[in-house]
Structure 1
Amino acid sequence: MIVVTEQAAYQIQEMIKEAGEGEQYVRLAVNGGGCSGLSYGLGFEKDANEQDEILEFHGVKFLIDKQDAPILQGVKIDYKQSMLGGGFTIDNPNAIATCGCGSSFRTAANAGTPEQC
């Protein structure tokens, strides 16, 4: 379904350790809104629910709502480090358009959503 690089998983594990709250899941979600119609949500959660698929990559457990799964099919999450800092990247092969700032996207399923930029 999705791919999480070893570098991204390592960075997430470090963030979980720094938070000091014990084992946590990482929720990958699709939210409405943004210039292109959809945006990603990425955050920590303690518990899964019955609508969640649980996937594990390099020791990190991800939660994906079954409703979001088709839009996230084939997504690759990576972590890039540069001299100016680092950050997570999400590459979605289903995206047919992205916002100029890269924070939102559009798929064929939400192609009729008007842009707000």
Structure 2
Amino acid sequence: MTAAVDQTKGDPTEVPTHEVNISDVAAAKVRSLLEQEGRDDLRLRIAVQPGGCSGLIYQLYFDERMLEGDAVRDFDGVEVVVDKMSVPYLAGASIDFEDTISKQGFTIDNPAASGSCACGDSFH
């Protein structure tokens, strides 16, 4: 895992970045959902919260807020925000979107997760 660079030192207007990636398919789905909402002030927020049978769960949702310490990356107009507590848990994670007969939704491939539960909803 690479160490995150603290970009908040020096220029106080700089926002830290994170190492989460989002596929083109997932970014297109986010754009489509935002267009359906008719809002251009929302960002995709990904967070790690306590819960699930393995101890941690992912939260993905649209958020209009920017909190102190949030890390942001822009993917061709889709802003992905990660709170400062979740950044280390998501280093190198990739978000994709699947749309098949058996599954529809966002998926997260996280190399920082050492394991997950049988249902796949939580990790540790």
Is 1:29–1:40's contact at 8 Å kept on the other side of the alignment? yes
Equivalent residue runs for 1:1-117 within 5 Å: 1-84=19-102, 86-106=104-124
Q: Distance in 2 between matches of 1:15 and 1:76?
A: 19
Specify the code of the residue in structure 1 equivalent to 2:29.
Q
In percent, how many aligned pairs have the same letter? 38
Is 1:6–1:58's contact at 8 Å kept on the other side of the alignment? no
**Aligned-residue CA RMSD in angstroms?**
1.2
Write 1 or 2 for the structure with the bigger share of strand. 1
Could you list the per-position Cα deviations for residues 19-75 of structure 1 after superposition, in whole angstroms to 9, with x for gaps in the alignment? 122331111000001010000000011121222011111320011111111110000
Q: How many residues are aligned here? A: 106
| 4+ residue segments displaced more than 6 Å | none
Q: Which moved more, 1:22-31 or 1:7-16?
A: 22-31
Partner of 1:110: none
Specify the code of the residue in structure 2 equivalent to 1:29.
A
| TM-score in terms of structure 2 length | 0.80
Gaps of 5+ in 2: 1-18
Could you list the per-position Cα deviations for residues 68-97 of structure 1 after superposition, in whole angstroms to 9, with x for gaps in the alignment? 111100000001121345211101101111
Q: Distance in 2 between matches of 1:59 and 1:21?
A: 13
Q: Distance in 2 between matches of 1:80 and 1:19?
A: 21
Gaps of 5+ in 1: 107-117
Q: Distance in 2 between matches of 1:15 and 1:52?
A: 22
Specify the code of the residue in structure 2 equivalent to 1:58.
D
Q: Distance in 1 between matches of 2:103 and 2:38?
A: 23
Specify the code of the residue in structure 2 equivalent to 1:93.
P
Specify the code of the residue in structure 2 equivalent to 1:45.
D
Q: Which moved more, 1:5-14 or 1:84-93?
A: 84-93
